[in-house]
Amino acid sequence: MKTYIKTLLSLGTLFAFTLLFIASATQQKVPIQRKIAQFDYAPPSEGFDKSDKVSFILLSPRYAPTFQYGSSEPYVTFTKSMASDFEEMLTARGYTYKGPYPSYDELVYNDKKTSDLILEVEVDMKIMNAGLLKSFVNYSKRTVYYADGEFTIDGKLNLIAYEPFTREKVWTKSVPIAPARRRVTSENKYYDIGSVNNDAAVWNAVIDALQEPYAGTMRQAWNHLDPHEMEVLQKQAGEIKKNSGFIKN
């Protein structure tokens, strides 16, 4: 009888360990979900000056030539969202505008003739990530890459207004992008160094770092679009246009 009981206990213990082993083997790591890149600023609805006297040509925001990631996501979405928000700001201020145009070269004669100012936005962004990218050589003698460390994103927006025909600058303002620091470890490791940037954990950290200062940066840009100052610039640009010799009857 005792032997029978011991056998049952042994079988029960073995069964319990088997269940634990199966549970641990079948339990999978839940993958990190990539965030959707969304950047948005809503201008105030009241309590500010408006003017319908100034007409703009809006150029699509562009990155400074020194920024190497401008043609990849989420940085493409960042400037596209910014273009939409500048449209909203110009409309809220009461200005008329055309665009946003991809570049100055897209403008035709009538655009330049019927507009007071061109507004250009340059995103001068910096990413400081020294030591973030790590690597090692695995058992098959292949180099493996991953991220483990900190990075910081900051910079400034350069707002530039100039006369449409001569492209003579009449106004420049720099709006700081407040530094946003993130600590990140990539979810996976890769044989392709470029794949680290698309890792879900790295992607989400970059999205967070871009979103953090966005509204504050755009709020400062909004303040710079004050009608009193824009109307002074309109007069300056008008004199430049008048004396340029570009106007045809």
CA 32, 37, 43 angle in degrees (round to 5)? 140
Cβ–Cβ under 8 Å, residues 148 and 95: no
Q: Is the peptide bond before 100 cis (omega within 30 degrees of 0)?
A: yes
Domains of the chain: 43-225 (3.30.160.180)
Q: What is the pLDDT of residues 162-202, one digit of tens each?
A: 999 999 999 999 999 999 999 999 999 999 999 999 999 99
Nearest CA-CA partner of 117 in 241, 247, 246, 223: 241
Q: Is residue 29 pLDDT above 90, yes or no? A: no
Nearest CA-CA partner of 120 in 93, 149, 97: 97
**pLDDT score recorded for residue 22:** 41
- Is 116 exposed, middle or buried, given 0-12, 13-18 or 19+ CB atoms closer than 10 A? buried
Nearest CA-CA partner of 194 in 73, 66, 36: 73
CB atoms inside a 10 Å sphere around CB 207: 21
SS3 103: coil
Question: pTM of the prediction?
Answer: 0.85
DSSP string, 186-232: -SS-BSSGGGGGGSHHHHHHHHHHHHTTHHHHHHHHHHHT-HHHHHH
Q: Which two tokens stand for residue 70?
A: 């401008």
Q: What is the pLDDT of residues 60-117, one digit of tens each?
A: 999 999 999 999 999 999 999 999 999 999 999 999 999 999 999 999 999 999 999 9
| Separation in Å, CA 16 to CA 8, 75, 142, 249 | 12, 52, 41, 93
